[in-house]
Amino acid sequence: MRKFIVSAISASLAMALSVSAFAADDYSPAMKMAIQRDLGLSGAQLAQYVKAERLAAHQQRTASRQLGRDFAGVWLERKADGSFGVVTASTSMGKAGTAAGVETRQARYSLASLNAVKDQLDAQLARSGAPRGVYSWAVDLPSNSVVVGIAPDAQDAAIDFIARSGLEADSVRFETIKDPPQRHATIQGGRGYRAGPYACTVGFAVTRGGTPGFATAGHCGNVGVVVYDEASGVRLGSFAGSAMPGPYQTGPDRAWVRVDAGHALSPSVYGYSNQDLPVHGSNEAAVGAMVCRSGRTTGGLHCGYIISKNITVSYTDPNTGTHDGTVTGLTRTSACSDRGDSGGPFMAAAGQAQGVLSGGSGTCQNGGNTSYFTPINSILSVYGLTLRTSP
């Protein structure tokens, strides 16, 4: 029988470095406050992180080009003293070279190889579906493996699922997830919008041609469903595009709502009792980068780190324990969220939109620090939308 390692993934974040000076306007005051609260950072640590984040963005572009098929990823890390740094992994140390402020590590598998492993699991899902208790799988850069998220009692089922895919054990690790991922839509009062029986959260303001709208989660409503402002009950518009796999199906979770004439949409994220966050673009943040989200149920800003990208998540119905749709192309974060926050925005530094909430494990009240978002750039591309930005 193949052996698998059962372990929890931590965003091991390490190594200090000095690059360019900290720009105070990279984060709004509200976002700084939320980051320092949720991630336990001092002002100096946040400033040092911003330097590392800039270096990671540059390193991602250059290392993938220079290393070619030996490239095994770039990520941000933090160590016990609270400092941040950038790591580049390569399967050939001879080709890796050295860059100021960047740690280079030997990797067994290239990023392309790990993506191929993840693709094999997606193919096995298409053939037979995922067994009960197998929740997700994604490439994890720091561990140089594909991590499969499973229920505490699902290891045997997961081993069988992996074995049937034909994968070798060395490239796969298991992560035990206590609370099953669930879609975050609910019937509750509060800020947000209503679509049929559901209450969700507005993501980002967009346009298609001259038509205004907003990006949100696909499971919040089907095409044609009318959307109402939750606070006032005023009609806002209707779903113009929507995708969400049904039970035992696979696909993306994304949508956009076409807004009726007469409404004004602000290119910003509501901060509740804090300052609103202006949206300036949608540059994709690196693995290990900080992100903050806003939602109608949890209110305010809740922050975490990007853990992995292009993750496949099999949601579970909390009442029956059965599959509630398997969503592909998600990004996993350590920010908390709750039902009704679905569709809400994730933001990174300098006002960069990252995505809209799809679901998560647990809640902000019970310590459930796992949320998944659909990248905003994929939504813009599929529906031909343009992100509305602040000057």
- Amino acid symbol at 113: S
Tallying the residues shown for the chain, one arrives at 391
Q: How far is residue 112's CA from residue 304's CA, in Å, rounded to a whole number?
A: 27
Nearest of 112, 118, 117 to residue 69 by alpha carbon: 112
Q: Report d(CA 228, CA 40) in Å as an integer.
A: 37
Containing 332, the helix (H) or strand (E) segment is strand 323-333
Q: What is the DSSP letter of 147?
A: E
**Distance between CA atoms of 222 and 179, rounded to whole angstroms?**
27
Half-sphere exposure in the Cβ direction for 247 (13 Å, CA): 9
Question: How many C-beta atoms lie closer than 10 Å to residue 278's C-beta?
Answer: 16
Q: Tell me the CA end-to-end span of the chain in Å, nearest whole number.
A: 59
Residue 296 and residue 345 in contact, taking contact as beta carbons nearer than 8 Å: no
Residue type (1 letter), 364: C
Residues annotated as catalytic are 219, 253, 342
Coil, helix or strand at residue 377:
helix
CA distance 181 to 360: 5
Q: Please, where are the H alpha helices in 68-105?
A: 93-96
Query: How are strands ordered across the β-sheet holding 226-229?
Result: 198-200, 193-195, 226-229, 235-243, 254-259, 211-216, 204-208, 386-387
